[in-house]
Amino acid sequence: MNKKERDRFKKLLLERKQQIIDAADNTKDEGLGFEQEDLADEVDLASSETGQAMNLRLRDRERVLLKKIDKALEKIEEGEFGVCELCGEDIGGKRLEARPVTDLCIRCKEDQERVEKTYADA
Ligand SMILES: [Zn+2]
């Protein structure tokens, strides 16, 4: 990844971070200010949950996401951004575009999800 790309992702991440902070500031009950899809990968929002529980959970999710963004920003500074934490391969531009905070390439992510599913079914 060259400097231009790094700068672009850095800007993207900083914008995302600001969005979350803004949303946390001025939305108590009205949505998050960022796309639900951003969360889908991590958490299945169970439809049976009460609104209250959902809100609490989403605030946790925001904290987690902020942490991930900070981590990604650190990686950019260290020149490690865009490299899969498990296999060391490039994560790939398309995936990073969609989820700049991701730690894993799509292959490792799918493996991980398979493992999680296996445990969930057990
Ligand atoms: Zn990988």
Q: Are 71 and 22 in contact (CB under 8 A)?
A: no
Instruction: Name which residue leads in pLDDT, 55 or 75.
Output: 75
Dig out the tokens for 42 from the structure: 């991590």
Q: What letter represents residue 62's amino acid?
A: E
Q: Is 117 helix (H, G, I), strand (E, B) or coil?
A: helix
Query: Residue 103: exposed, middle, or buried by beta-carbon count in 10 A (0-12, 13-18, 19+)?
Result: middle
Instruction: Name which residue leads in pLDDT, 31 or 51.
Output: 51
The torsion region of residue 75 among left (phi > 0), alpha (psi -120 to 50) and beta comes to: alpha
pLDDT (tens digit per residue) in 65-91? 999 999 999 999 999 999 999 999 999
What residues have a C-beta under 5 A from ligand 1, the ion? 84, 86-87, 105, 108
Instruction: Name which residue leads in pLDDT, 115 or 45.
Output: 115
Please tell me the distance between residue 14's alpha carbon and the centre of ligand 1 in angstroms.
25
pLDDT (tens digit per residue) in 25-44? 765 555 444 545 555 544 45
Give the largest Cα separation in the chain, rounded: 46
Instruction: Name which residue leads in pLDDT, 14 or 59.
Output: 14
Please tell me the distance between residue 81's alpha carbon and the centre of ligand 1 in angstroms.
13
pLDDT of residue 28: 54
Please tell me the distance between residue 8's alpha carbon and the centre of ligand 1 in angstroms.
22
